[in-house]
A and B are shown apart, each in its own frame.
Chain A
Amino acid sequence: MIRLQNVSKTFGSGPRAVTALKNINLEVPRGQIHGVIGLSGAGKSTLIRCVNLLERPSTGTVHVDGQELTLLSGEDLNKARHGIGMIFQHFNLLTSRTVFNNVALPLELMGVSRTEIRERVTPLLDLVGLTDKARQYPAQLSGGQKQRVAIARALASRPSVLLCDEATSALDPQTTASILELLQDINRKLNLTILLITHEMEVVKSICHRVSLISDGELVEEANVGDFFTAPRTRLGRHFLNDFLELEPPRALIDRLLDASGEHTHPVVRLGFSGDAVATPLISRLARECGVDVSILQAKVESIQERTLGLMIAELMGDADDTQRAIDYLMAHDLNVEVLGHVQRND
């Protein structure tokens, strides 16, 4: 369990002070995977570093597993950190140690005996699928393998919480998928609470249960991942979603798009479906009931966890009255309708 209450962080002082985090409230229940997504410079890194006090919050409190970390320092803080694993974008493995000894490091720091270290490291290497690499050095491994070593190392002290700082940002898409799968796997097997920061929607979509959106040091939106992908509430949320879905009108259409409707124009709309609407044959009903033809310019169906999400860009062809009726009809069926503009009729 992680709980951040009214956490703010300011770097420097006086007129040159920079506020990195503003009044952050965040709660991640045990066993949940929570993603924080934001653009670079939004404060993601500072936020995750405040959880294990690599950055000490200027104000506010941090609780992990019921313990108020912000009250601790020195030896007590170090002890509490044994309960919080962390992995990084650039893996941060020691080049001078073999894979085995990298995973053993946190145990050495805790003063665990040699025999026990051997007993604990071996199953961890097995868990991340690197048993045969135990005696190799990080330089001999691929990026994905290095992150696997880092995950094994982060789990060595048997933490209840894992912090992931852009853990897949330096990896290619295929490797990213396999690392995310591993994180999901350990989340289920060990009931591990995971807080991750990322700028990739793919990461949020694949493994997160809940997501927070950070902008300019503030959490501006928080939602279940299914809800966020169907109906983001903020502009930034919509920006992330559209970027991710790559559902922008084609270039040629944008050039023809007019802001205002005229006598000889058709509206171009972006439709978002979710839940029941996906299964309903709305487009053909639209044609029948409103007398409007629908020309589909782009369409996409995404499956986000257990939910299906459909997105479409379409031109509604008909008289002004009919097309307006069609838009009302779609809205009445819980579709997310956005009029992107109008195009001249071809006839």
Chain B
Amino acid sequence: MSSAMINLILEATLETIYMVAISGIIAALAGIPLGVLLYVTRPGQILAQPILQSVLSVVTNIGRSIPFIILLVAIVPFTRLLVGSSIGTMAAAVPLTIAAIPFVARLVEGALNEISPGLVEAAQSMGATPWQIITRVLLPEARGGIYTALTITVVTLISYSAMAGAVGGGGLGDLGIRYGHQRYNETIMLITVVILVVMVQGLQSLGDYLVRRSNHK
């Protein structure tokens, strides 16, 4: 294999890592609070706000129901506004982030669902404020579930990032499609797939380790 090819693969790997890292981090920073908000504003919960909850829930569902490839193109004007360009790796990170936020939020909400309501009640009986219940009871108790949520999100982002080629985002998936598939280069196809498998395996192992470490159940 030529050194040009090797460079191409290296570059694509870095692009994938870059897109997934940026969108993953921002999605976590926005998605975790959104997930908490979806949970605590439910009727009967510590900050019950049924109307706000319905609105957030609908918005989250809309975000989750748009196919990623459509979202990618549909928000081009927004992407351009945000990062100054509608093409490139940075431009691909924007729709990835937008898609991942509601995804993280629902998974975090699910992780919070697993917490026994009795724990919240116990904290209330101790005179805990809603903020204290979120920071000292809900988030620590859901830590394992949140790690699981983030692992699933990052793995999903890796697979979504393959579509980033549509806006010139590059990355391993794009390389696989253009060189491996369209030019029948089986070696490239194989290598990109192997790298992706190794990445997913590694992330999953890291996620499992973090879940295990935070789980005292």
Contact A108 B136 (CB under 8 A): yes
Residues of chain A in range 76-94 having any CB-CB distance to chain B below 8 Å = 77-82, 84-86, 88, 90, 92, 94
Tell whether A78 pairs with B127 under 8 Å between CB atoms, given A94-B137, A96-B216. yes
Q: With a CB–CB cut-off of 8 A, which chain B residues contact A84?
A: 125
Would you give the shortest CB distance from B129 to chain A, in whole angstroms? 6
Bound-state CA distance A52–B124 (Å) is: 9
Is A329 positioned at the interface, with any CB of B under 8 Å from its CB? Answer: no
Q: How large is the interface on B (under 10, 10 to 19, 20 to 34, 35 or more residues)?
A: 20 to 34
CB < 8 Å: which of B116, B124, B216 contacts A54? Answer: B124
Contact A95 B216 (CB under 8 A): yes
Would you give the shortest CB distance from A112 to chain B, in whole angstroms? 12
Would you give the shortest CB distance from B190 to chain A, in whole angstroms? 43
Q: With a CB–CB cut-off of 8 A, which chain B residues contact A137?
A: 216
Contact B126 A54 (CB under 8 A): no
Residues of chain A in range 97-111 having any CB-CB distance to chain B below 8 Å = 97, 105-106, 108-110
Q: With a CB–CB cut-off of 8 A, which chain B residues contact A97?
A: 140
Q: With a CB–CB cut-off of 8 A, which chain B residues contact A78?
A: 127-129
Tell whether A105 pairs with B126 under 8 Å between CB atoms, given A92-B116, A92-B119, A96-B216. yes
Q: With a CB–CB cut-off of 8 A, which chain A residues contact B123?
A: 105, 109
Tell whether A88 pairs with B118 under 8 Å between CB atoms, given A109-B128, A109-B132. yes
Contact B140 A96 (CB under 8 A): yes
| Interface SS of chain B | helix
- Chain B residue nearest in CB terms to A83: B127
Bound-state CA distance A137–B123 (Å) is: 18
Q: With a CB–CB cut-off of 8 A, which chain A residues contact B137?
A: 94
Q: B121-161 vs A: 1/0 string, CB under 8 Å?
A: 11111111100100011001101000000000000000000
Q: How large is the interface on A (under 10, 10 to 19, 20 to 34, 35 or more residues)?
A: 20 to 34
Bound-state CA distance A105–B133 (Å) is: 11
Is A32 positioned at the interface, with any CB of B under 8 Å from its CB? Answer: no
Q: With a CB–CB cut-off of 8 A, which chain B residues contact A109?
A: 123, 126-129, 132, 136
Would you give the shortest CB distance from A13 to chain B, in whole angstroms? 14
Contact A81 B126 (CB under 8 A): yes
Contact B121 A95 (CB under 8 A): no
Q: With a CB–CB cut-off of 8 A, which chain B residues contact A160?
A: none
Bound-state CA distance A157–B140 (Å) is: 22
Would you give the shortest CB distance from B185 to chain A, in whole angstroms? 50
Contact A92 B121 (CB under 8 A): yes
Tell whether A90 pairs with B125 under 8 Å between CB atoms, given A95-B217, A96-B143, A105-B136. no
Would you give the shortest CB distance from A9 to chain B, in whole angstroms? 15
Q: With a CB–CB cut-off of 8 A, which chain A residues contact B122?
A: 86, 88, 92
CB < 8 Å: which of A77, A92, A106 contacts B118? Answer: A92
Would you give the shortest CB distance from B112 to chain A, in whole angstroms? 13
Q: With a CB–CB cut-off of 8 A, which chain A residues contact B127?
A: 77-82, 106, 109-110, 157
Query: Which residue of A75, A77, A97 has the most chain B CB atoms within 10 A of its CB atom?
Result: A97
Tell whether A54 pairs with B125 under 8 Å between CB atoms, given A90-B118, A92-B116. yes
Is B214 positioned at the interface, with any CB of A under 8 Å from its CB? Answer: yes
- Chain B residue nearest in CB terms to A108: B136
Q: List 27 A-B contacts (CB under 8 A).
A: A54-B121, A78-B127, A81-B124, A88-B121, A90-B116, A90-B118, A92-B116, A92-B118, A92-B119, A92-B122, A94-B137, A94-B141, A95-B141, A96-B140, A96-B143, A96-B214, A96-B216, A97-B140, A105-B126, A105-B136, A106-B126, A106-B127, A109-B127, A109-B136, A110-B127, A137-B216, A153-B126
Q: Show the binding face of A for B, using Cβ within 8 Å.
A: 52, 54, 75, 77-82, 84-86, 88, 90, 92, 94-97, 105-106, 108-110, 137-139, 153, 157, 163
**CB-based closest 8 A-B pairs:** A81-B127, A78-B127, A92-B122, A137-B216, A86-B125, A92-B118, A106-B126, A96-B140
